[in-house]
Amino acid sequence: MKFVDEVRIQVKAGDGGHGAVSFRREKYIDRGGPNGGDGGNGGSVIFQADPQLTTLLDYRYQQHHRAKNGEGGMGNDCNGRSAEDLLLRVPVGTLIRDENTGEVLADLNDPGQKVVVCKGGRGGLGNMNFATSTRQTPRFAQDGTPGEERTLRLELKLLADVGLLGFPNAGKSTLISIVSRARPKIANYPFTTLVPNLGLVQYKDGLSFVMADIPGLIEGASEGVGLGHQFLRHVERCKVLIHLLDMGTETEDRDPLRDFDTLNGELRKYSEELSHKPQVVALNKLDLPHALERQDPVTRELQRRGIAVFPISCATGLGMQPLLDAVAEVLFTGRTDKLHVEPPPAPRAEKKAAAKKAPVKKAPVKKAPAKKAPVKKAPVKKAPVKKVAAKKAPAKKAPVKKVAAKKAPAKKAPVKKAAAKKAPARKTAARSAAGKASGAARRRRA
């Protein structure tokens, strides 16, 4: 079956039926009154995740989906029938977006999950609802409301736990065919895989996980080179990625380390979040002699960056168990210890040792004159000491003297001044007393 993972469709919910305007007309019943019924509700458009489906192919062929309108109200107090909802089944993992606004309306991740995307219109009220004591013949009814209409973009993002990444021909399809029952096409030419494949890997102790094999990526995939990078959407939900490096490639323009950096660059261009997902780096095709020759330098370089590598061969089954163990550990425990290694200390230690040794050798040569220098400096140092002492001595004396000199008169002065001030005060008193006495004597004389 053709794999379709993106479609654009138009959906419209049913309109509500109009309310009816009707009056009871019966023999011998005069002025029977209004009896127009309500309109029925329009059907809504509902999406449901169906685990039986794997592709959006059906929606490629039929792009317009309309739910039925509600039935109009009728006379004789009859309400119209509400329309049934339109149920659209999509594969689990379908993302429903509004094409015009880009808003994500729903992400159907769970089997059976349902979501109403367009609500049906409400039926209008018939004229019997509008009869009152003062308005006994309402000749109007309410119209039904129109159902919602939308243009949607459906995107299928496969629900895999582990995603396989690698250049074309790296052996991704071979790996998934070994560890699961998936049987994708495998051939010795690039872009054998054109659509993603899923495989269920039965791990130990009844644990299992889903692995997704996607078409190979090449440099410039973000600009549409090769099959582009739209298939990366299918590994967006993966919890861990296996990055397969083709160690057996014999073309000159390809190099495992350069491939590794290129692919990570493309990942970053697609989504920063995806590029930060844990990666299990596996060196594939290590059954080939020229691949073995490359193993050491590639391993060393990646370990220098702190990345653990898993040597494997999909042809012989070498290294499959450690690879699956590492994947399962990240998946089931969330620990990524196995994916990182301590960068080998040897080259750094050597560099540091070399860096340390160099100045050690030079040091004694420089120290010789350095020793003389302090000898010369000694008198220089003494001089300021003396100066300081010399300066300090008078400095200490000076303020003491000054303070004493200043304080002595300062203390005396106010005393003297006070006495001086007080003295005249006493004199004036004496004078005034004398004045008074002489005045009294003069008066007595007179």
Ligand X SMILES: Nc1nc2c(ncn2[C@@H]2O[C@H](COP(=O)(O)OP(=O)(O)OP(=O)(O)O)[C@@H](O)[C@H]2O)c(=O)[nH]1
- Show Cβ contacts of residue 87 under 8 Å, excluding neighbours closer than 6 positions: 46, 47, 48
Contact criterion met (CB below 8 Å) for 309 and 350: no
Smallest gap from residue 304 Cβ to ligand X (A): 25
Looking at the DSSP assignment, which residues form a beta bridge with residue 97? Answer: 104, 153
The span of 123-131, 254-262, 308-316, 397-405 binding ligand X (CB under 6 A) equals: 308-316
Q: Which of 45, 282, 314, 339 binds ligand X (CB under 6 A)?
A: 314
| Cα(250)–Cα(252) distance, integer angstroms | 6
Task: Provide the H-helix boundaries in 305-344.
Answer: 320-333
Hey, which residues between 119 and 178 contact Mg ion (CB under 5 A)? 173
From the list ligand X, Mg ion, none, which binds 171 (C-beta under 5 to 8 Å, kind-based)?
ligand X
Hey, which residues between 261 and 290 contact ligand X (CB under 6 A)? 284-285, 287-288
Q: Does 191 bind ligand X (CB under 6 A)?
A: yes
| Cα(45)–Cα(66) distance, integer angstroms | 8
Q: Is 287 annotated as a binding residue?
A: yes
Q: Does 172 bind ligand X (CB under 6 A)?
A: yes
Q: What six digits make up the tokens of 16?
A: 């509500």
Q: Is 214 annotated as a binding residue?
A: yes
**Region of residue 319 (left: phi > 0; alpha: psi -120 to 50; beta: else):** left
- CB neighbourhood size of 73 (10 A): 31
Q: Is 132 annotated as a binding residue?
A: no
Q: Is 262 annotated as a binding residue?
A: no
> Which is closer to ligand X, CB of 140 or CB of 191?
191
Smallest gap from residue 218 Cβ to Mg ion (A): 13
What x-and-dash track marks residues 182-221 binding Mg ion by CB under 5 A? ----------xx----------------------------
240-246 and 162-166 as β-strands: parallel, antiparallel, unpaired? Answer: parallel
- Show Cβ contacts of residue 268 under 8 Å, excluding neighbours closer than 6 positions: 275
From the list 159, 109, 142, 195, the residue with the least C-alpha distance to 20 is 142
Smallest gap from residue 84 Cβ to Mg ion (A): 44
Q: Does 198 bind ligand X (CB under 6 A)?
A: no
Q: Which of 83, 152, 170, 307 binds ligand X (CB under 6 A)?
A: 170
Q: Sheet holding 94-98: strands in order across? A: 64-66, 6-12, 149-156, 94-98, 104-108
Smallest gap from residue 280 Cβ to Mg ion (A): 18
From the list 69, 62, 61, the residue with the least C-alpha distance to 45 is 69
Q: Which of 35, 94, 193, 197 binds ligand X (CB under 6 A)?
A: 193
From the list Mg ion, ligand X, none, which binds 188 (C-beta under 5 to 8 Å, kind-based)?
ligand X
| Cα(53)–Cα(238) distance, integer angstroms | 20
Q: Which of 44, 79, 127, 173 binds ligand X (CB under 6 A)?
A: 173
Smallest gap from residue 243 Cβ to Mg ion (A): 15
Smallest gap from residue 18 Cβ to Mg ion (A): 58
The size of the interface with Mg ion (CB under 5 A), counted in residues, is 3
Q: Which of 198, 315, 320, 341 binds ligand X (CB under 6 A)?
A: 315
Smallest gap from residue 165 Cβ to ligand X (A): 10
Q: Does 129 bind ligand X (CB under 6 A)?
A: no
Sign of the Cα torsion 314, 320, 323, 327 reads: positive
Identity at 432, one-letter amino acid code: S
Interface with ligand X by CB under 6 A: which residues?
166, 168-174, 186-188, 190-193, 215-216, 248, 284-285, 287-288, 313-315
Residues of the shown chain interacting with Mg ion in the complex, contacts defined by CB under 5 A: 173, 192-193
